[in-house]
Amino acid sequence: MPAAANLEERQPILVLTALEETWGTTHPLLFLGEWCKRYERREVWGKRTYKTVTFHWDDRRKLLQDYNYLESLHTTLLRILSQSLNRLHGVNYDNRYWQILLDPWLTSYLGVMFDRWECLRSAFSEKDSFSSRAFVPVKDNFHPPYSFLDFVQAAAYSDKWNQCIYQRILRSQYANQLTPFAGPDDTHDVIAHSSAHFPQRENSIRKIWVRCSQLCNAINSSPNIVFLGATFSTVALVKLNLALGQLPYRDPFQEDCYDTNDSVLSGEAPVRKDVELDWQARSDFEQFIKFSIPSDLPKCIVENFSTLRQRARNIVIRPKVIITGSSHWDNAFAKAWIAEQSASKTKFVVLEHGGSLPPYKELFDFESSISDVRISWFRPYHKKHLQLPPPRFVERYEGRFRLRRLLHREKYCSLIGNECALWAYRAHFYPMAHQWVDSFTMVLELFDRLNPDIKNLFRIKPYPASQGWHTAQRFADALGASFLHQERSLERVYAMSKVIVCSYPETTFSEAMASGVPTVLVYPEHLYELNAVAYPLLDILKGAKIVFNNSVEAANHLNAIWENPVEWWGSPETLYARQEFNQQALRLGPGWLKEWKAFLAPLITNESKASY
């Protein structure tokens, strides 16, 4: 790439991120994506002459093709990396062991890198883009993440991190087509800061639970089953453990002392440059990946692997079954322990973290690959799936919730808002990047068609934490701040609702259906490709006027039922649809404890069936 030069006043600039120091002054801009144009800075970029590159995954047929390609590449690289890491560390573990450690990092990494690669390919191939391209780089002082959690936080939200990745691709692929100009003198390291542990606020009830569970751990030093990151309520978890004949065992990986990411147990850490991939790349992108992976592998798999493995081996408990809801995702120490235990033939059960109508494909099926059984919310469509009542919901919407509804008098029409991360952080069949705006537009259209009596009680619960698009402020600006729920708890919002309106078909919709509160779903169907097993249920829900992909039709329905939504909610067709949803997507009922015990008890005695 040519040396940096001075930038002429009218020279168009390719803008990669929202870092305004890379925008020049009055120069025309070619924004790589909508993430460059932050809502809170609209007064700045709105005054500039600009064009925006079309997001390549707006073409959903391309998304399907790309997903299938990346899934195949993932399979290949998992095998190649397993061999490479065995050589690096002088060990001999199978692919499953390394997949427990590598995924979901590898799954996300391939999607992220391919997306960034394709965004730039689109920018250089658009016919109506600026004829010449220049860009203002930032200094690249790049460091690998410690773990998956660090990586995904940077990939989804960090301008600096993404700027450096884009610049790496530009150097690799477009060095002769782009002119860099002198940029800011910024020498800060670009690294995702470790967020492996966030201390929780200690209220009195939690303190009592922690003390009691620590006592149980001391008494129950050899539990048959260990729950890690499971979403059972405290009461439900205690009931289940007692039903299985053991005291509850506190998740040992919740403590503050795990994952010190700069320590090495003994000797010298492996040298990252010794990571070699014995693999013949078939394209420029694959060559780029082959070059990049050794630099980008998380430290917990390279420099800190031996430390984590030794610490995992020092944990004295040897359960027969490990059940995890999230620890196999984001806790490097727990993942090391799970890998070691799985290698010793401990049964490994993965809980689906959330769910509703399952997507066409997801996560390259890594959870099914690493587990012996994957507990799903929806009825099984994979040989390793087993449907059981979701831990998140068992005993949740019962006495306490009903009391809250009585106290709140069920008055609001509550809209549950959606928002995506700034950047795509994996290839999946959900909205990505700016595509959340389709849902936002549908909500405004819905509101505009509602009768005045519903509008007066219409309240929006924005996505819990802004993903960078500031949807809460956008709703406030469009409708008024008074239309935003001030209550942060989703359960309490449901309790104070006469009708719930969900804007995306994911966990919040399942939770709304589980609550028993009259619920409708209004969403952009073209951005949620579903697995074939879900479409019959979707048709039933549409027939009962629970699900809509047209905001005008949804508004007409809400206007018609508002005076007495319970009458519609209890009508024969709607009741049938609700029962089908519960049977196919939730399986909630008073017998949850019996079902869970029937599944887990044979695993303890090694009497489980060969398939589920």
**pLDDT above 80 for 352:** yes
Tens digit of each residue's pLDDT (9 = 90 or more) over 68-85? 999 999 999 999 999 999
Give dist(CA 612, CA 594) in Å, integer: 17
Q: Are 533 and 378 in contact (CB under 8 A)?
A: yes
Q: Tell the residue number behind the tokens 């995306």, with chain if given.
A: 504
| CATH 3.40.50.2000 domain span(s) along the chain | 399-586
Residue 313, pLDDT above cutoff 80: yes
Picking from 285, 292, 301, the residue whose alpha carbon sits closest to that of residue 148 is 301
Pick the CATH number of 399-586 from 3.40.50.2000, 3.40.640.10, 3.40.47.10, 3.30.365.10: 3.40.50.2000
pLDDT band at 552 (very low <50, low <70, confident <90, very high): very high
Distance CA 521, CA 557 (A): 12
Tokens representing 180? Answer: 């860099």
422 band by pLDDT with thresholds 50, 70 and 90: very high
By three-state DSSP, how is residue 375 classified? strand
Whether 58 shows a pLDDT value over 70: the answer reads yes
User: Averaged over 458-466, what is the pLDDT?
Assistant: 92
Interval 175-197 mean pLDDT: 57
Distance of CA 538 to the CA centre of its chain: 23
Query: Do you find a cis peptide bond into 104, omega within 30 degrees of 0?
Result: yes
The type of residue at 337 is W
Lowest average pLDDT, out of 333-337, 353-357, 458-462, 503-507, goes to: 353-357
- From CA 55, how far away is CA 432, in angstroms rounded? 10
Say yes or no to pLDDT of 536 above 70.
yes
Sign of CA dihedral 460, 467, 118, 20: positive
484-527 confidence digits (pLDDT tens) = 999 889 999 999 999 999 999 999 999 999 999 999 999 999 99
Sign of CA dihedral 42, 48, 53, 58: positive
How many CB atoms are closer than 10 A to CB 456? Answer: 11
For 192, the token pair is 């995702």
**394-407 residues labelled b (16+ CB within 10 A) or e (exposed):** bbbbeeebeebbee
pLDDT single digits (tens) 288-311: 999 999 999 999 999 999 999 999
250/428: higher pLDDT:
428
> Residue 545 gets which letter from DSSP?
T
Per-residue pLDDT band at 201 (split at 50, 70, 90): very low
Do 468 and 476 contact (CB within 8 A), yes or no? no
Which pLDDT score is estimated for 1?
52
CB 351 within 8 A of CB 325: yes
185 and 8 in contact (C-beta within 8 Å)?
no
Of 420, 425, 414, 454, whose CA–CA distance to 440 is shortest? 420
Do residues 302 and 88 lie in contact, with contact meaning Cβ atoms separated by under 8 Å? yes
| Count of CB atoms situated within 10 Å of the CB of 453 | 12
Question: What residues have CB less than 8 Å from 593, skipping those under 6 apart?
Answer: 236, 239, 240, 243, 394
Percent of the chain surpassing pLDDT 70:
87
**Strand ranges (E), 177-320:** 179-180, 225-228
**Mean confidence (pLDDT) of the chain:** 88
Cα–Cα dist 570/129, whole Å: 55
Residue 346, pLDDT above cutoff 80: yes
- Count of CA atoms in the C-beta half-sphere (13 A) of 597: 15
**What is the model's pLDDT at position 132?**
54
How is residue 29 written in tokens? 């801009």
